[in-house]
Amino acid sequence: MVLCLAKRQELMKHFELAEWTDFVRGLVEKSARLPMEHHLASGCRKCRHTADLLRKLVTAAYALRCARAVFLLQQPEKIQILCQRACSTTVSANPCPQVSAPSSA
98: confidence class by pLDDT, cuts 50, 70, 90: low
pTM of the model: 0.58
What is the pLDDT at residue 53? 97
51's CB contacts (< 8 A; 6+ apart) are: 20, 23, 24, 40
* Residue 57 to residue 54: CA distance in whole angstroms: 5
Q: CA distances (Å), 94 to each of 23, 82, 87, 91, 102, in order?
A: 73, 18, 11, 5, 21
| 27-75 pLDDT, tens digit each | 999 999 999 999 999 999 999 999 999 999 999 999 999 999 888 888 7
Taking alpha carbons only, the member of 58, 61, 48, 46 closest to residue 21 is 58
- Grade residue 84 by pLDDT with cuts at 50, 70 and 90: low
What topology does CATH give the domain 2-73?
Answer: Arc Repressor Mutant, subunit A (1.10.10)
